[in-house]
Amino acid sequence: MDIERIHTPVMLERTIELLAPALEAEGAVLVDATLGMGGHSRAFLERFPKLTVVGLDRDTDALAIARERLAPFGDRARLVHTVYDGIAEAVRSEGYDEVRGVLFDLGVSSLQLDRAERGFAYSKDAPLDMRMDSTRGRTAADVIAESSEEELRRLFFEFGEEKLAPRYARAIVQARADAPITRSGQLVDIITKATPVAVQRQGHPAKRVFQALRIEVNEELAVLERAIPAALDLVAVEGRIVVLAYQSLEDRIVKRALQAAASSTAPAGLPMELPEHRPQFRLLVRGAELASDAEQAENPRAKPVRLRAAVRVRRPS
């Protein structure tokens, strides 16, 4: 496997630019909350010789690859097997109470997409797994087998924003009555047959259903709802957080959390803002930044990315 070919970190230089002012200090710690194969972490460790990275990932395959790639950095790279809502416990287990930087690169990784046997890709026939941590939890096949038609409809609509959710849920329930749906190819075939020809011309009909199943299997949105506030609590004064999101549901959660952290808590009508009500963070980018046209052309996985960032300006009294 050519890791350099399949794994090109998204918006790497912009991420470094935003986090750099917080990472120059002696003893600086960066949490790479979504380590993957270590592409972002390796770049940071190379760029900042005094930096320690605490890398988190639930995927044991990714951790094994990252551990090998980051081995030359010795104790400066500390890897923890955990879901990123366990960020506080992971950081404290490494002996730190706060950190200078946090990076989230959300969504499915290159490794998970490119290893057909993981079942994430609708373009490759494989067992319907989709677990980011293949050692535990329900698979996508379990969700398909155990969910009612109503539950599938809600799942596809809420997590996939799929307009044809009722049609797909009904087709799946009818198909599984004849035979278990255990492979991605089976599911793609069912969805394709249930999709009007005119809609098929607008893109792969299974894309949103596979997104919804992946989010459900890995509890991605619930985990993210817990993880961003926990990460913000860890950031030291003048420390920074950068988040890369790849679909609107993730980005909405990130946007709300960062905007709340960067807003005054003063009650409406108060004649003046007291110090304890002042925002704890300041947003570093206006809205959400996109990857450049050049990067999108070179790395297709950069096309949907939305980057948001903030710096801590004070801690509560």
Tokens at residue 246, please? 């790849």
pLDDT of residue 115: 60
Q: 306 forms bridges with which residues in the sheet?
A: 245
pLDDT of residue 121: 77
Q: Which is it for strands 99-105 and 281-283: parallel, antiparallel or unpaired?
A: unpaired
pLDDT of residue 201: 78
Q: Walk me through the domains of the chain, giving residue ranges and CATH numbers.
A: 3-111+220-312 (3.40.50.150), 116-218 (1.10.150.170)
Find, among 289, 208, 228, 290, the residue nearest to 103 by Cα.
228
pLDDT of residue 107: 77
Does 186 count as an annotated binding residue?
no
Q: Which is it for strands 77-81 and 99-105: parallel, antiparallel or unpaired?
A: unpaired
Q: For residue 114, name the pLDDT band (cuts at 50, 70, 90).
A: low
Determine what percent of the chain is predicted with pLDDT higher than 70.
91
* Selected residue with higher pLDDT from 78 and 266: 78
Query: Any idea which residue has 């808590």 for tokens?
Result: 265
Chain segment 3-14, per-residue pLDDT in tens: 555 567 899 999
Q: State the Cα angle at 126 between 124 and 128, rounded to 5°.
A: 115
| Residue 163 contacts residue 107 (beta carbons within 8 Å) | no
Q: Which is it for strands 306-312 and 281-283: parallel, antiparallel or unpaired?
A: antiparallel
Does 200 count as an annotated binding residue?
no
- Neighbouring C-beta atoms of residue 313, cutoff 10 Å: 13
103-112, 212-221, 229-238, 242-251: which range is least confident on average? Answer: 103-112
Q: For residue 119, name the pLDDT band (cuts at 50, 70, 90).
A: low
Chain segment 154-176, per-residue pLDDT in tens: 999 999 999 999 999 999 999 99
Does 84 count as an annotated binding residue?
yes
pTM surpassing 0.85?
A: yes
Does 129 count as an annotated binding residue?
no
Q: What backbone torsions phi and psi does residue 228 show, to the nearest 5 degrees?
A: -65, -50
Does 122 count as an annotated binding residue?
no
Does 38 count as an annotated binding residue?
yes
Does 246 count as an annotated binding residue?
no
Chain segment 205-229, per-residue pLDDT in tens: 899 999 999 999 999 999 999 999 9
